[in-house]
Amino acid sequence: MKTLVTARFDKRYLDELKAIATDLRFDGYGVHGVKMATQDLIKALEGVELLISEFEDITREVIEKADALKIIVCCRNEAFASVDIEAATEKGIPVLYAGGRNAIAVAEHTIALLMCVSKNIALTDHLLKYTDELTNCTYSDKQGERRHVISEWSMDPRAPFAVYGGGPEMYGKTFGQIGFGHIGREVAKRAYALGMNLLIYDPYIKPEDVAFVNGKLVDLETLMRESDFISVNCNVTPETRGLISREMINLMKPTAYLVNTARAPIIDYDALYDALKEKRIAGAGLDVFPVEPIPAGDKILSLKNTVLTPHLAGSSRDIIGHQTEIIMEQLKTLLGGGRPRFICNPQVIRA
Amino acid sequence: MAKPKCVITAEVMEPYLSQIKEMCDVTVGGWAMEKRLMSEDELIALLRGAEIFIVEFEQVTARVIEACPDLKLIMCVRGNPVNVDRNACTARGIPLLYTPGRNANSVAEFIVGAMIALIRNIARSYHELRSGRYLGEPKDNIYDVTYRDDMVWSMNDPGTNPYIVFKGFEVFGKTFGMVGYGAIGRKLAKILQAMGMRIMAYDPYVPSEELEADGIEAATMEEVFSRSDFVSIQCKVTEETKGLIGAREISLMKPTAYFINTARGVIVDQKALMDALLEKRIAGAVLDVFWEEPLPANHPLLQMDNVLITPHIAGASRDVPVQHSLMIADEIARYVKGEGPKRLFNKEVLKQN
């Protein structure tokens, strides 16, 4: 198959691709880091049967002019953001995508954010490096108490051990997982390995889907009321917008932590700020915000019981490997006459 | 039969304290009451007539042990009872019990969180945001927004786009090497395996069959240092482990590898580690313990973006005292019933009896 690749492609899979693509060309974002212009793309697609893209805009015009095109593979999780699915479907072109390519990156970031806030990891690193609160101090030792003690820092009641320690372990606690898609599953798997009991809220799954993490499907109120750690991992839809409302936040335990690596509109951030400010919940890890970048001077920046990161949860160098592995599997399934799991328009292969 | 007299200066949590009170005639004092360590003389006075002593931080010297002839059992609620004179206990035929692994969950979780916080730039970007960088123009009402489908922090200038500036990597598929495979290593290995990491470990006291049964590659010190993406120290301080990690070991590390120490500073040669970091021969480090604590205010570690530092709090979870309380309640129940201890530190005491 004559093939054009404009996606970032992991070269470990090159031999596999060559077995499919006899006439192979790399160009565009994956080579130059800049999206190809529409007219260049139309030209490059002459005679091309297989297109593997990532960020290029595969518009209706591009699809209609690509006479030979048989398969579109978009290496994004959200192929609809780059490919005109409707136009492809009209021409009977299957659009495959890299479902869950960033699931591992987001899951690791999610768990680490919860640990950073509940164990004061990010806060104490900041205090050590950029303030003299923890270094420019001495502790009295009149009785020679610490003569034999190697870990001086941990002994004094005013020392960080007493002041910034004392957070909860995850082991043995209850983890509330909201949303059980690609990312939710990966987060839940890790929470389970950490020895937590899982409560899961997702109206689209069945009890047997959560058996591998020994999870229990519950309603949202129960999850909010009983969990010690809560993670939100669902898409923004009319159903999920504002799902974690003020009423829901008010159900949380005063010792509970919340992490959001999904999207801000799912949570009432005003209500979340109030709960954090008034210490009605223990803390939060937030990677997404109502306005990005966060406006300078925003009140959320002043919270000490909150760890903020600037929308980084999906930012990992390893994603190229994941997306290539996923799309190669989808492509081989399709070419082998099978039914790929990650296809935007399954109706075109049913026909 | 009268209950044995028991003195407690350690923090003992409920419901275990009540359980111990049912079995013993309990006096609580010292650190447990005032968060102040008792002197030798104060201890001797408090321990008069006591058969069991449960201690956490007080120095239990040979003089104290000799001055308390009624003592038959000492329990130190620590993973390494460095504050109790082991030889003096043994000489008097007193079993010294301890609570190995009481903080294993706390430390294991801390390592996972701190490691990812470093390689994903969580702590660093958090500091940048707190310091007013990578932010947008002030806005009157931040909740007045029109939602966009594909929310991005900023895609205009790659140099100031945090998605690119702070891009990290995953632990999935990487190799984690442990020096020491004790209670913490065991907990940690299970978590990291579930996260998709390969684990290798060097521990001269653990048979390789035991490591392999846990899905871990038994390795030499050289292999751990030369092949791991993360090298973590998880052994106790003993005469054998002081200075165990020196320039030779660190020089074997890959330039992309990270060094993790949540055990004790003295296990690692300070100059060897600092040279490797300053000369960028390794990628970075996670350090919770140091050679001097508090860390001197002018220490170069405080200037390093590729090092995550925390003030000796890895074992500080609130659940640790619950763990050690559970263990000592179990040991006292065994003692009262005349059963042998499960957590004996001075094993040599058995030979004398």
* Model confidence pLDDT, tens digit, residues A165-204: 999 999 999 999 999 999 999 999 999 999 999 999 999 9
Average pLDDT (A137-142) is 64
Q: Does A235 touch chain B (CB under 8 A)?
A: no
Average pLDDT (B249-261) is 98
Per-residue pLDDT for A78 more than 90?
no
**Cβ contact (<8 Å) for B143 and A269?**
yes
* Model confidence pLDDT, tens digit, residues B44-59: 999 999 999 999 989 9
Name the residues of A annotated as catalytic.
263, 292, 311
Model confidence band, residue A64 (pLDDT cutoffs 50, 70, 90): very high
| Cα distances (angstroms) measured from residue B62 to each of B59, B83, B87, B228, B321 | 10, 11, 8, 44, 26
Instruction: Give the pLDDT confidence score for residue A340 in this predicted structure.
Output: 96
**Cβ contact (<8 Å) for B302 and A129?**
yes
Instruction: Give the pLDDT confidence score for residue B160 in this predicted structure.
Output: 76
* Model confidence pLDDT, tens digit, residues A255-290: 999 999 999 999 999 999 999 999 999 999 999 999
| Reduced DSSP (H G I as helix, E B as strand, rest coil) percent helix, strand, coil of chain B, to 5 | 35, 15, 50
Kindly list the residues from chain A whose CB atom is less than 8 angstroms away from the CB atom of residue B121: 309, 312
Per-residue pLDDT for A160 more than 50?
yes
Model confidence band, residue A148 (pLDDT cutoffs 50, 70, 90): very low
Distance of residue A291 Cα from the nearest chain B Cα, in angstroms? 6
Kindly list the residues from chain A whose CB atom is less than 8 angstroms away from the CB atom of residue B299: 135
Model confidence band, residue B77 (pLDDT cutoffs 50, 70, 90): very high
Rounded Cα gap, residues B166 and B31, in angstroms: 44
- Beta carbons within 8 Å of A123's beta carbon, 6+ residues apart: A164, A304, A307
What per-residue string of b and e applies to B340-351 under the rule 16 or more CB within 10 Å gives b? ebebebbeebee
Per-residue pLDDT for B74 more than 80?
yes
Average pLDDT (B251-272) is 97
Per-residue pLDDT for B334 more than 50?
yes
Residues of chain A with pLDDT > 90: what percent? 85
Burial of B183 by CB count in 10 Å (0-12 exposed, 13-18 middle, 19+ buried)?
middle
Q: Which of A124, A157, A309 sits opposite B35 (nearest CB)?
A: A157
Distance of residue A6 Cα from the nearest chain B Cα, in angstroms? 19
**Cβ contact (<8 Å) for B113 and A119?**
yes
Q: Does A342 touch chain B (CB under 8 A)?
A: no
Per-residue pLDDT for A149 more than 60?
no
Q: Does A309 touch chain B (CB under 8 A)?
A: yes
Rounded Cα gap, residues B285 and B123, in angstroms: 13
Strand partners, A267: A244
Per-residue pLDDT for B122 more than 70?
yes
* Model confidence pLDDT, tens digit, residues B85-104: 999 999 999 999 999 999 99
SS (H, E, C) A25-59: EECCHHHHCCCCCHHHHHHHCCCCCEEEECCCCEC
Q: Which of B230, B233, B298, B312 to mutate: most A Cβ within 10 Å? A: B312
Rounded Cα gap, residues A156 and B311, in angstroms: 12
- The structure's pTM equals 0.90
Q: Does A116 touch chain B (CB under 8 A)?
A: yes
Q: Which of B130, B164, B297 sits opposite A126 (nearest CB)?
A: B130
Distance of residue A71 Cα from the nearest chain B Cα, in angstroms? 25
Rounded Cα gap, residues A249 and A253, in angstroms: 9
**Cβ contact (<8 Å) for B168 and A149?**
no
Rounded Cα gap, residues A289 and A223, in angstroms: 23
Q: Who wins on pLDDT, B193 or B351?
A: B193
Instruction: Give the pLDDT confidence score for residue A157 in this predicted structure.
Output: 73
Per-residue pLDDT for A324 more than 50?
yes
Rounded Cα gap, residues B167 and B163, in angstroms: 6
Instruction: Give the pLDDT confidence score for residue A231 in this predicted structure.
Output: 98
Size of interface A-B (CB pairs under 8 A): 281
Angle between helices A121-130 and A103-118 in degrees, nearest 10: 70
Specify whether the CB–CB gap between B158 and B193 falls below 8 A: no
Per-residue pLDDT for B172 more than 70?
yes
- The string of DSSP letters for B209-226 reads HHHHHTT-EE--HHHHHH
Q: Give the type of residue at B233.
A: I
Q: Does A37 touch chain B (CB under 8 A)?
A: no
Per-residue pLDDT for A24 more than 60?
yes
DSSP 8-state secondary structure symbol assigned to residue B161: -
At residue B65's C-alpha, the angle toward residues B62 and B68, to 5°, is 150
* Mean pLDDT value across chain A: 93
Q: Does A104 touch chain B (CB under 8 A)?
A: yes
Angle between helices A121-130 and B122-130 in degrees, nearest 10: 60
Instruction: Give the pLDDT confidence score for residue B159 in this predicted structure.
Output: 72
Kindly list the residues from chain B whose CB atom is less than 8 angstroms away from the CB atom of residue A295: 135-139, 142
Model confidence band, residue B138 (pLDDT cutoffs 50, 70, 90): confident
Instruction: Give the pLDDT confidence score for residue B151 in this predicted structure.
Output: 60
At residue A107's C-alpha, the angle toward residues A101 and A113, to 5°, is 140
Per-residue pLDDT for A351 more than 60?
no
Average pLDDT (B200-208) is 97
* Model confidence pLDDT, tens digit, residues A207-218: 999 999 999 999
Model confidence band, residue A145 (pLDDT cutoffs 50, 70, 90): low
Structural tokens at position B331: 């040991």
